[in-house]
Amino acid sequence: MKMLIQKVKEKLSPIFPYGVLESWDDLDPKLYHAVHIFWLKFYGLWYNNYPKKSIKFWLNMMYTLLVLWLVCFFPGIGEVVYLLKRRDNIGDVAEGLYLFLSEMYTYFKVLVFWLNKDKVISLQKFLHCKEFKPKEPEHKEIIRKSIRKARFVMTSYATMCVGAVSVGIILPLTENFDILPTNVEYPFFDVYKNPTYAYLYLHHIYYKPATCIIDGVMDTILAAFVASAIGQIEILAFNLRNFDVLAERRRKRAISDNKYIGKYTNLYFTKRILKECILLHNSIIRYVSVIESAFSLASALQFMLSVMVLCLIGIQFLSIENPTSHPMQMVWMAIYLTCMLIEVFILCWFGNELIWKSNDLRQAAFDGPWRNLNRKTCMFIIIFMERCKRPMRLSAGKIFTLSLDTYTVLINWAYKAFAVMRNMKK
């Protein structure tokens, strides 16, 4: 029976993200991003690593272009035409512009993701470095929790976004099919006449969830990298607080493996643990700097456009005449606003966690059993604590720091812009 189950898992594994059917015992670092990579490959947006002379390269390229045409270029053209035709009505402009901006900056993030291919690949390789490998049972549990967190954020956020656009997709049903899920118009045909309307409605059923999933991947892949860094910081904090216990474990393992030499005292193993702590800290700092260089530009644009989109959604709320007769439209706007708030919150929350966890390293070093060490060894801990005075942090375009303080500032800016536009509308 076990053999049969194993064979079924092997056949089904290609159609599921890595880690759904596979065991987590080895804690392969690709578990952090397996769900993200699965969906990027599904939509042809993952890196095309096939040789340029192979047929697979060109088939993959054609599929990628087809997907981009269906989910980016074709609807984008329709939204631009709609905005140009309705530019005299601020309500219609707000309604069309917030969707257009939120969709277009999703694909700008995809473009930046492609341009930073080498950095993203280097981040994935970095996770396999020897400093990041778990050495103790407690390390494995910390990494397992961080992987669960990264996968949960991706799955739950993408599911929430798809659920939100599902409300937008059924919105035309409540409006007697007088509207489309997204306001689009094209110069050469009338979108509200059959069979064009039916074709476009089917197209929206495909492209709206696809855009939400891609947007969810682009937002949470940064969060997954930060989650992996936070996991390593928690391991480092555990090592600093318990280096005497870890040193004793190492000594006992050396004895059991017949590698113990009498001159290797407890102090020797303690120094080895502290040296590994310093090397791990250096590796985490380098890892965080690469994360920032890979995602800084996309995050900065996202923050700035998020302020504009939140403002436009507020204007759209005010532009709905007789809201009680359009309950589904109000629900759609409220859900979309919630998704936008959560989208920015995810990045700021993980950035804030990175700051706090790295700040905690000084306290972790102080909480350790350093009182039993000699003065020379204590100096290493003092120097380490001095280095930890500056917490690790991620910035977006060297302008914003990813933190909850920044999130509060962005919401404040969005409200101020909304208040100005509301007065203009009046």
- Expressed in percent and rounded to 5, the helix, strand and coil fractions of the chain are 75, 0, 20
Q: Is residue 306 a contact partner of residue 343, using CB atoms and an 8 Å limit?
A: yes
Q: Which two tokens stand for residue 202?
A: 């089917």
Question: Are 293 and 225 within 8 A, CB to CB?
Answer: no
Q: Look up residue 362 and give its two tokens.
A: 């000084």
Q: Within 13 Å and on the Cβ side, how many CA atoms surround 295? A: 27
pLDDT score of 326? 62
Return d(Cα 48, Cα 173) in angstroms, integer: 40
Q: Confirm if 77 and 97 have CB atoms less than 8 A apart.
A: no
pLDDT at residue number 158: 85
> What integer pLDDT is reported at residue 8 of this predicted model?
60
| Angle CA 172–154–94, to nearest 5 | 40
Q: What is the pTM (predicted TM-score) of this model?
A: 0.89
Residue ranges of E strands in 316-383: none
* DSSP line for 248-286: HHHHHHHHHTT---TT--HHHHHHHHHHHHHHHHHHHHH
Contacts of 215 (CB under 8 A, 6+ apart): 102, 103, 106, 109, 161, 343
Rounded alpha-carbon distances, angstroms, from residue 284 to 180, 223, 290, 346: 48, 15, 10, 21
**DSSP designation for 55:** H
Q: CB count, 10 Å around CB of 119?
A: 15
Stated length of the chain: 426
- Which among 117, 71, 94, 118 has a CA at the least distance from the CA of 214? 71
Look at residues 357, 351, 354 and name the one whose alpha carbon lies nearest to residue 404.
351
Q: C-alpha distances in angstroms, 64 versus 43, 45, 47, 61, 204?
A: 7, 6, 10, 5, 18
Rg (CA), the chain: 26
- 19-42: per-residue pLDDT in tens? 777 778 888 888 898 889 999 999
C-alpha distances (whole Å) from 72 to each of 102, 107, 182, 186, 334 are 11, 7, 13, 15, 24
Q: Is the dihedral of CA 366, 368, 372, 378 positive or negative?
A: negative
Q: b/e per residue, 319-334, with b = 16+ CB within 10 A?
A: eeeeeeebeebeebbe
Distance CA 182, CA 345 (A): 25
Half-sphere exposure in the Cβ direction for 249 (13 Å, CA)? 11
List, in sequence order, every residue forming a beta bridge with 186; answer none if it has no partner.
Answer: 189
Strand partners, 44: none
pLDDT lower than 70: segments of the chain: 1-13, 89-92, 94-95, 175, 258-264, 315-327, 421-426
3-class SS letters over 103-151: HHHHHHHHHHHHHCHHHHHHHHHHCCCHHHCCCCHHHHHHHHHHHHHHH
What is the model's pLDDT at position 263?
Answer: 60
CA distance 343 to 414: 15
Residue 231 pLDDT: 93
Spatial distance between the Cα atoms of 364 and 391, rounded to a whole number of angstroms: 14
- What pLDDT is attached to residue 59? 92
Strand partners, 395: 401
Question: What pLDDT is stored for residue 384 in this prediction?
Answer: 84
